[in-house]
Amino acid sequence: MSDAKKIAVIAGDGIGPEVIAEAEKVLKRTEELFGYKFELEYGLFGGIAIDERGTPLPEDTLAICQKADAVLLGAVGGPKWDTNPKELRPETGLLGIRKALGLYANIRPAVIFDCLKEASTLKPEVLEGTDLIVVRELTGGIYFGDKLRREGPNGQEAVDTCTYSVKEVERIARSAFEIAKTRKKKVASVDKANVLETSRLWRETVIRVAADYPDVELEHVLVDNCAMQLLRRPSSFDVIVTENMFGDILSDEAAMLTGSIGMLSSASLGEGSFGLYEPIHGSAPDIAGKGVANPIATILSVALMFRLTFGYHEAAEAVEKAVKEVLDAGHRTWDIATDKSAAIGTGAMGDLIVAAIKA
Ligand code: NAD
Q: pLDDT digits over 25-43, tens only?
A: 999 999 999 999 999 999 9
Mean pLDDT of 258-274: 90
In a domain, 109, yes or no: no
What percent of the chain has pLDDT above 70?
A: 99
β-pair partners for 163: none
User: CA-CA distances (angstroms) from residue 214 to 7, 172, 205, 241, 325?
Assistant: 35, 17, 15, 17, 36
Task: Report whether 220 contacts 203 (CB < 8 A).
Answer: yes
Distance of CA 281 from the midpoint of ligand 1 (Å) = 5
Flag whether 116 is in a domain.
Answer: no
**pLDDT class for 92, splitting at 50, 70, 90?**
confident
pLDDT digits over 332-345, tens only? 999 988 889 999 99
Q: Give the closest residue (by CA) to ligand 1 atom 13.
A: 284
- Residue 114 lies inside a defined structural domain of this protein: no
CB 246 within 8 A of CB 190: yes
Ligand 1 pocket test: which of 45, 57, 268, 281 has the largest number of ligand atoms within 8 Å of its C-beta? 281
Same domain, 149 and 229: yes
For residue 287, pLDDT beyond 60: yes
Residue 74 CA, closest ligand 1 atom number: 40
Q: Is the pLDDT of residue 90 over 90?
A: yes
The answer on 182 and 159 residing in a single domain is yes
So what's the pLDDT on residue 70? 98
User: Is 318's C-beta closer than 6 angstroms to any atom of ligand 1?
Assistant: no
Q: 42 lies in a domain?
A: yes
Mean pLDDT across the stretch 219-228?
Answer: 98
Same domain, 206 and 88: no
Amino acid at 150: R
Lowest mean pLDDT among 59-73, 148-162, 164-178: 148-162
Judge if the beta carbon of residue 350 lies within 6 A of ligand 1.
Answer: no
The mean-pLDDT minimum among 31-35, 63-67, 132-136, 145-149 falls in 145-149
Mean of all residue pLDDT scores within the chain: 94
Task: Say whether both 140 and 225 belong to one domain.
Answer: yes
Owning domain of residue 189: 121-257
Share of the chain above pLDDT 90, in %: 82
Is any atom of ligand 1 closer than 6 Å to the C-beta of 335? yes
Ligand 1 atom with minimal separation from the 285 CA: 28
Q: Does ligand 1 have an atom closer than 6 angstroms to the CB of 75?
A: yes
Per-residue pLDDT tens for 165-177? Answer: 999 999 999 999 9
pLDDT at 271: 87
Nearest CA residue ID for atom 20, ligand 1: 293
Choose the weakest-confidence range: 67-71, 321-325, 332-336, 344-348. Answer: 332-336
Same domain, 130 and 92: no
Is 143 in the active site? yes
Q: Is the pLDDT of residue 154 over 90?
A: no
Residues 273 and 343 in one domain: yes
Residues 48 and 18 occupy one common structural domain: yes
Of 60, 160, 224, 328, catalytic: 224
Looking at ligand 1, which residue's alpha carbon is closest to its atom 30?
Answer: 282
Residues 245 and 277 in one domain: no
Within-domain flag for 133: yes
Instruction: Find out whether the beta carbon of 286 lies less than 6 Å from any atom of ligand 1.
Output: yes
Report the predicted TM-score, pTM, of the whole model to 2 decimal places: 0.90
CB-based contact 199:234 (threshold 8 Å): no
In a domain, 58, yes or no: yes
What is the number of structural domains in the chain? Answer: 2
Least confident of 11-20, 59-68, 106-115, 312-321: 106-115
Q: Where is the domain boundary, 232, 257, 282?
A: 257
Instruction: Report the alpha-carbon distance of residue 348 to residue 76 in Å, rounded.
Output: 23
354 in a structural domain: yes
Using CB atoms within 10 A of its CB, is residue 210 exposed (0-12), middle (13-18) or buried (19+)? middle
> Do both 140 and 156 map to the same domain?
yes
pLDDT of residue 29: 98
23 lines ligand 1 (CB under 6 A): no
Q: Is the pLDDT of residue 63 over 90?
A: yes
pLDDT at 147: 63
* Cα–ligand 1 centroid distance for 288 (angstroms): 10
Q: Are residues 140 and 158 in the same domain?
A: yes
CA distance 305 to 275: 7
The answer to whether residues 223 and 241 belong to one domain is yes
Residue where a domain stops, chosen among 257, 273, 308: 257
- Beta-carbon count within 10 A of 157 CB: 10
Using the predicted structure, report yes or no on whether residue 135 has a pLDDT greater than 90.
yes
- Of residues 277 and 95, the one with the higher pLDDT is 277
**φ and ψ at residue 239, rounded to 5 degrees:** -115, 125
- For 142-146, 314-318, 320-324, which range has the lowest pLDDT when averaged over its residues? 142-146
The CATH number of whichever domain residue 158 belongs to comes to 3.40.718.10
Q: Say if residue 125 is in the same domain as residue 160.
A: yes
Q: Is 201 a member of any domain? A: yes
Give the lowest-confidence range in 97-111, 147-161, 335-349: 147-161
Taking 80 as the threshold, does the pLDDT of residue 206 lie above it?
A: yes
Specify burial of residue 261 (Cβ count, 10 A radius: 0-12, 13-18, 19+).
middle
Report the nearest atom of ligand 1 relative to the CA of 81.
Answer: 32
